[in-house]
Amino acid sequence: MEDAAYPVAGVPAPDPSYGPERVVGIQLEALATNDDPIPDAGIKTAYNFASPANRRQTGPLDRFVRMVEGPQYAPMIDHEDAIRGPLERTESRADQQVTLTGPDGRTETYRFGVSKQSGGSLDGCWLTDRVLVV
């Protein structure tokens, strides 16, 4: 079943011209200023860059927002610093470790896993399959 709220309008969305490192960067930049230009714009951007399989597990949008606002991912919202490790890439998959400092000073390290989509409307787009706490 396709999600009627996808992609969320008014925030960045996938494009085949974006490589995997740019896809992670777009999400980090959006989450750093979560409510700009609209409420939860950062979380909505992350939702737009979630792979179809990821969205099946974490969506719809309102459920995704609650998950990101939860304790595991809350340091991402309005984070003050992001230290990105090297991108580890194969032909169609990439991983990048990112250490974020949240607005409360708490640091958390995440591992973004992205993959290049094939077929359908997202063909050629790099999208996030998972974000794990490490």
Domain boundaries, the chain: 20-133
pLDDT tens readout for residues 3-41? 677 999 999 999 999 999 999 999 999 999 999 999 999
Phi-psi region of 98 (alpha: psi -120 to 50; beta: other; left: phi over 0): beta
Q: From start to end of the chain, where are the E strands?
A: 81-89, 93-101, 107-116, 126-133
Strand-by-strand arrangement of the 126-133 sheet: 81-89, 93-101, 107-116, 126-133
pLDDT of residue 1: 45
Q: What is the pTM of this model?
A: 0.96
C-alpha distance from residue 95 to each of 1, 73, 115 (Å)? 28, 18, 9
Under CATH, to which class is 20-133 assigned?
alpha beta
